[in-house]
Amino acid sequence: MNIRTLATTPFLDQKPGTSGLRKSVKVFQQPRYLENFVQSIFDTLDGREGQTLVLGGDGRYYNREAIQTILKMAAANGFGRVLVGRSGILSTPAASCIIRHYRAFGGIILSASHNPGGREGDFGIKYNTSNGGPAPEKVTEAIYARSKVIDAYHILEAPNVDLERLGKLEIGNLTVEVIDPVESYAKLMESLFDFERIHQLLTSGQFRMCFDSMHAVTGPYAHAILEQRLGAPSGTVINGKPLEDFGGGHPDPNLVYAHDLVERLYGTSAPDFGAASDGDGDRNMILGRKFFVTPSDSLAVLTANAHLVPGYRQGLAGVARSMPTSSAADRVAAQAGIECYETPTGWKFFGNLLDAGKVTLCGEESFGTGSNHVREKDGLWAVLFWLNILAVRQESVEQIVHSHWQKYGRNFYSRHDYEGVDADRAKELMEHLRANAPELKGQQLRHYQVKYCDDFSYTDPVDHSTSQHQGIRIGFTDGSRIVFRLSGTGTQGATLRVYLESYEPDPTKHNLDTQQALSTLIVIAEEVAQIRKFTEREAPTVIT
Ligand code: G16
C-alpha cells in the first residue's frame, strides 16, 4: 500500500458559502485545489479512523474525477468504508438518507446545486455530518480555518475504482461499496406516503402529470418511483437522463429556467400537475394547470394538509422557515397551535431544530421543502407530498391553493434577483442600508408604515450559537416586508436578492397579479436601497 504525503500551499478562497464550497470547474481543476479542501475537511474530523463515509454527487462535469481522488484520499486518511453511489450519483436528499440509514460518520456531496454545469460551469463540494445534514457553521468555519494553513495532503496510489459495478472492493485498507443510489431512498418515500392512493390517481386515466428532471440527478429517482413504482405512464418524466452539462441548461426549477415544463403546463391540453427538481435533487417547483405555487405557499399548504399523509398523520411538532420566506406558514402554525421558527437562509440552520424534535416540516422561498425524514431539503419528497394530497382531496392544485388563501389570507410574494453585479458595489449597497436602517423605524413610506428595520440575527434555540448579518429586514405595520441580502451560492460577482411580501386577507383581491400587488413595495425597495445606482441595472435578472 503506497500512501503518499504531498506538500501543498493554501488557497485563500476556500470559504464555504450558504451550502458548501462552490466555484467554477476551472477553479476546482487547478492542481491541489480539490485535494486541499478535502484534506481540510478530513483534518477537522476527529475520530474518523475506521469510520464510514458516504460519497456521491449530482453527476455534473468533474464529478467522476473528483470521486476517484476523494476515494484515494479517504483510504489514505484512515476511513474504513466509503459508500459511493453507482456512477458516482447520489442526489443530495438520497445522500442524507443513506448517511442516516447506514449510521455513517458523515458524507461528501459533490454538487453546485442549481448552478449550470459542464466544463464552463460550476462545481461544488460540501460535507454533511452524521445526522445527514449540512455541516453547521462551527464545522464549516473549522474547515475554512484549516484550508488557510494546510501544508500537506495524503493520497493512496491506486488504480481508479469501477463505479459502474455494484458491490464491494478494497483499495488499501478501505472498503469501497458501490451502492444503488435509489433503493434506500425509494423505500423511505414508500414508508411516508400513501403509495396505493397515489398509484390509483396516476393510473386512473383522469389525472396527468409531468416531472422535469432538467437532465440532472433526479432522472433515475423519478423514473424508478413515479413511473416504475407508482405506475405513471412512461414519458411522465421528461429530461430524465442525467448529463454532465445538464443538456446546456440551467438546472434551477423556476418559471424562467424550467421552460420545457412551463410550456406544457401553460399550453393547450396541459397536464393537471407539473413539477421540476434541480441539479442535485433537493429543490422543487410545483405547478398546477396554468398555475404556479410559490415555494412559500407550498410549505404552508403542506403544513395545513399534513394530516392527510400517513407519515405525518400523528401531527407536526412545529414548522420552520428561513427568514426571507413568506410568513404564510406562520399563519397555519398559529391556527394549528404549533411553533413556527424563523431561521437564517441555509438548510443547515434547520438541523438542530429537526434533531431536537422541535419541528417536523421546513421550507425556504428558494424552492426548498423538507421534513425530519432526512436532513436536507428534498425535491421528489415534496412532489410525492403534493401527489398524496391531490389523491386524497381530489381537487386541482389551483382549487387547493385558493381555498387555502380563503382560510388563511394570501401572502403575495416575489423575489427579485440582480445577478453578477460588482461585488464591492453590492457590499456598499448593503452597508448603506445597514447605516440607514435605524432611522426608518416609524417612518411612513408611501402608504406603508415601518414597524421595524434591522439586520437579522439568529440565536439557535438548541445550541444558542448566534449568526449575525443575515439580511436587512424592513417590516411594515400591516405585516408586509422587504428583505435585502446577498446570495451565498453565486460564483460570479455578487447576487443581490430583494424579497417582497404583502399580506392580503380579502379574498376578492386574491386574483391580483403578484407583481401588481407588490408594485408599491417594489418602488419603496428602490427608493430605500437605490438598487439601480448601486447595481447599475435597470431591472432584476430573474424574478421568481
Ligand atoms: C442553498 C441552501 C439554501 C438556500 C439557497 C439559496 O440551496 O441550501 O438553504 O436557501 O442555497 O441561498 P442564497 O440565497 O444564499 O443563494 P442549494 O439548493 O443551492 O443547495
The DSSP symbol for 418 reads E
Residues 375 and 476 in one domain: no
| Ligand 1 centroid – CA 391 distance (Å) | 30
pLDDT > 90? residue 490 = no
CATH of the domain at 500: 3.30.310.50
What is the rounded distance in angstroms from the CA atom of residue 284 to the CA atom of residue 318?
Answer: 21
Domain that holds residue 126: 3-181
488 lines ligand 1 (CB under 6 A): yes
| pLDDT tens column, 222-272 | 999 999 999 999 999 999 999 999 999 999 999 889 999 999 999 999 999
pLDDT > 80? residue 376 = yes
Predicted pLDDT of residue 147: 98
Phi and psi at 82, nearest 5°, equal -120, 130
| pLDDT tens column, 144-181 | 999 999 999 999 999 999 999 999 999 999 999 999 99
Closest alpha carbon to 377 in 415, 329, 294, 321: 321
Residue 399 maps to a domain: no
| Ligand 1 centroid – CA 100 distance (Å) | 22
Task: Give the other-Cβ count within 10 Å of 278's Cβ.
Answer: 34
Exposed, middle or buried, 541 (CB in 10 Å: 0-12/13-18/19+)? middle
- Look up residue 339 and give its three cell numbers: 411553533
Predicted pLDDT of residue 256: 87
Predicted pLDDT of residue 340: 98
Q: Which of 87, 113, 296, 480 is catalytic?
A: 113
| pLDDT tens column, 493-525 | 999 999 999 999 999 999 999 999 999 999 999
What's the mean pLDDT in 366-370? Answer: 97
Domain end residue (candidates: 393, 421, 442): 393
What is the rounded distance in angstroms from the CA atom of residue 344 to the CA atom of residue 459?
Answer: 10
Q: Do residues 281 and 221 make contact, with C-beta atoms less than 8 angstroms apart?
A: yes
- Any bridge partners for residue 154, and if so which? 5
| Ligand 1 centroid – CA 266 distance (Å) | 27
Residues belonging to the chain: 544
Domain end residue (candidates: 155, 181, 207): 181
| pLDDT tens column, 414-425 | 999 999 999 999
Residues 22 and 92 in one domain: yes
* Sequence-ordered strand ranges (E) for 368-456: 368-371, 410-421, 444-445, 448-455
Predicted pLDDT of residue 466: 93
Alpha-carbon distances, residue 283 vs 52, 68, 207, 276, 286 (angstroms): 27, 27, 24, 8, 10
| pLDDT tens column, 6-22 | 999 999 999 998 889 99
Residues 171 and 226 in one domain: no
Predicted pLDDT of residue 133: 95
Residue 522 maps to a domain: yes
- Tell me the pTM: 0.94
22 lines ligand 1 (CB under 6 A): no
Phi and psi at 127, nearest 5°, equal -110, 135
pLDDT > 70 in the chain, percent: 100
Q: Which of 489, 495, 496 gets mutated to test ligand 1 (max ligand atoms within 8 A of its CB)?
A: 489
Torsion angle of alpha carbons 68, 77, 29, 425, nearest 10°?
130
The kind and range of the H/E element at 352 are: helix 351-355
Residues 224 and 148 in one domain: no
Which amino acid type is present at position 467? Answer: S
Residues 75 and 8 in one domain: yes
| pLDDT tens column, 412-457 | 999 999 999 999 999 999 999 999 888 899 999 999 999 999 999 9
Which amino acid type is present at position 463? Answer: D
Strand pairing category for 466-467 and 458-459: antiparallel
Domain end residue (candidates: 393, 421, 446): 393
283 lines ligand 1 (CB under 6 A): yes
**Is 234 labeled as catalytic in the residue annotation?**
no
- Look up residue 111 and give its three cell numbers: 454538487
What's the mean pLDDT in 295-311? Answer: 98
Predicted pLDDT of residue 437: 82
Predicted pLDDT of residue 19: 86
Residue 403 maps to a domain: no
Residues 449 and 486 in one domain: yes
Residue 544: which residues within 8 A CB-CB, separation 6 or more? 254, 255, 256, 367, 414, 415, 417
| Ligand 1 centroid – CA 415 distance (Å) | 14
367 lines ligand 1 (CB under 6 A): no
What is the rounded distance in angstroms from the CA atom of residue 388 to the CA atom of residue 305?
Answer: 10
Q: Which of 92, 348, 364, 485 gets mutated to test ligand 1 (max ligand atoms within 8 A of its CB)?
A: 364
Closest alpha carbon to 25 in 180, 314, 246: 246
Residue 488 maps to a domain: yes
CATH of the domain at 247: 3.40.120.10
Q: In the chain, how many domains are there?
A: 3
Which amino acid type is present at position 23? Answer: K
pLDDT > 80? residue 306 = yes
Which amino acid type is present at position 58? Answer: D
pLDDT > 80? residue 1 = no
